[in-house]
């Protein structure tokens, strides 16, 4: 009664399937899921910088994470006025609005459309230029910044890193965990099928999957080879080469643990209906008859 697992004649595995369809679907789906989640995690956790520099009659503004960072250079001669304003509200039109980092195009009732690179506080400096939207800034040392605007040089400073607070920190942690969810796809396609095992024990069938083991009492049950009529999946996993969970099979609910639902072995009793596809079906059925207590 030997099988592929050698030293344990009562342990069986499903047949190895060709992996062409698994690769054709698994690789693109893995990239499709992982790429956005990894990018989102990087975007949230990457340092968000706002740096202001005044030199040679120009104001240079550098913003953003390193890969997506932007820069603006403004001729100070075009600045018509600078004033301090307390904002009353507003909304983001295009850009980024994270705690302590608001960069892009926004709109405010008292100012209309603006471009800003601020720490999201209400008290801002507004630079006005003819024919251009107002520019909103929150330099850490406003006195030195205003003096530099007058002289046209002598200022370079970055906003302190934003303090996200407990709420946004929780969001950052969740975003960091998102790529782990994306790893479910390659696990289902490439790892889980190889972990599927069936072990015949006295009066029971133990099925091992990547998530653990399930024990099904088999004494008095019927076991037979079977070609099922498969309906819908009620819950669980359904991917090429890996089917686990509760399925509608032959018009009734059936627990399925198989790499193929074309044919296999059905264990059926008063409270048990399990479909598996061991590599050596005849040997598996014999083991269930002699040790598993089936008929």
d(CA 137, CA 119): 8
Number of DSSP helices (H) and strands (E) in the chain, helices first: 6, 20
pLDDT tens-place values along the chain, 295 residues long: 445 455 678 999 998 766 665 656 656 766 667 777 777 776 666 677 899 999 999 999 999 775 555 789 999 999 999 999 999 888 999 988 888 889 999 999 989 999 999 999 999 999 999 889 999 999 999 999 999 999 999 999 998 876 665 555 666 677 667 666 667 777 677 778 889 999 999 999 999 998 899 999 999 999 999 999 988 999 998 888 889 999 999 999 999 999 999 999 999 999 999 999 999 999 999 999 999 888 8
Under a CB-based contact definition with an 8 Å cutoff, are residues 242 and 210 in contact?
no
Under a CB-based contact definition with an 8 Å cutoff, are residues 25 and 287 in contact?
no
Task: Spell out the residues 6+ positions from residue 108 whose beta carbon is closer than 8 angstroms to its own.
Answer: 87, 88, 89, 90, 114
């Amino acid at each position: 009664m030997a099988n592929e697992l050698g030293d344990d004649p009562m342990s069986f595995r499903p047949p190895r399937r060709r992996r062409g369809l698994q690769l054709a679907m698994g690789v693109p789906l893995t990239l499709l899921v992982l790429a956005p989640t990894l990018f989102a995690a990087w975007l949230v956790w990457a340092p968000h910088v706002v740096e202001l520099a005044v030199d040679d009659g120009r104001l240079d503004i550098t913003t953003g994470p390193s890969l997506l960072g932007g820069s603006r250079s403004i001729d100070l001669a075009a600045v018509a006025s600078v004033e301090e304003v307390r904002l009353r509200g507003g909304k983001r039109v295009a850009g980024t609005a994270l705690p302590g980092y608001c960069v892009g195009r926004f709109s405010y009732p008292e100012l209309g459309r603006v471009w800003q690179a601020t720490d999201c506080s209400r008290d801002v400096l507004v630079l006005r230029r003819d024919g251009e939207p107002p520019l909103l800034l929150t330099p850490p040392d406003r006195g030195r910044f205003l003096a530099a605007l007058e002289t046209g040089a002598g200022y370079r400073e970055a906003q302190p890193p934003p303090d996200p607070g407990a709420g946004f920190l929780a969001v950052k942690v969740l975003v960091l965990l998102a790529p782990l969810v994306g790893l479910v796809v390659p696990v289902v396609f490439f790892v889980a099928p190889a972990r599927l095992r069936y072990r015949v024990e006295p009066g029971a069938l133990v099925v091992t999957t990547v998530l653990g083991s399930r024990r099904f009492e088999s004494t008095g049950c019927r076991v037979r080879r079977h070609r099922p009529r498969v309906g819908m999946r009620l819950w669980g996993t359904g991917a090429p080469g890996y089917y686990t969970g509760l399925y509608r099979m032959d018009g009734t609910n059936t627990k399925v643990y198989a790499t193929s639902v074309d044919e296999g072995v059905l264990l059926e009793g008063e409270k048990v209906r399990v479909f598996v596809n061991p590599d050596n079906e005849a040997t598996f059925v014999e083991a269930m008859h002699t040790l598993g207590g089936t008929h």
